[in-house]
Amino acid sequence: MNDEASALFERAEAHLATRETAKARPLLTDIQNRFGDSARLQNALGILHSYENQHETAFQNFRQAMALDPTNMDAAINLSSMLAGMGNLDGAQALLKRVAGVLTATGASEDAQRLLGYAQRLAAPPKKEGAVDLMRDYAGYGIDQVGYELSDG
């Protein structure tokens, strides 16, 4: 990715981190028009759509991000967050384990271990609504992400 695209992504992601979707949207559109599709773009669009309560579209964006890059930890975490928010904890955990397996096979064992640890925490949440809380604090568990909250009611 070139420096210009990276700078645009950083600006868009900073706006998403503060839920400024109206400022992020034109940047993401510009990225898509100028640089084409990518897992990073689809993940950012998924976050934008989730903030705008377009959850089906967000879900599809995260799935597309995973299709473009099966090792994209951000998209895996966001997609598993949506699955957990829908009550599909088994699906969320299976997704994280699958991505961890791919990461291990590609030599990214440290990232794989972080995802596996996170998947284990999902396996036995203290209470049903606790699973979503776990998703929200994954950054504190050592997984780098801006810290998006995907399930706000």
Place of tokens 């992400």: 145
How open is the CA angle 48-108-81, to the nearest 5 degrees? Answer: 30
**pTM, entire model:** 0.77
Query: pLDDT tens for residues 38-58?
Result: 999 999 999 999 999 999 999
Query: pLDDT tens for residues 76-118?
Result: 999 998 998 888 999 999 999 999 999 999 999 999 998 888 8
Is the predicted pLDDT of residue 152 greater than 70, yes or no? no
Using pLDDT thresholds of 50, 70 and 90, give the confidence band for residue 133.
Answer: low
Q: Which two tokens stand for residue 137?
A: 């604090």
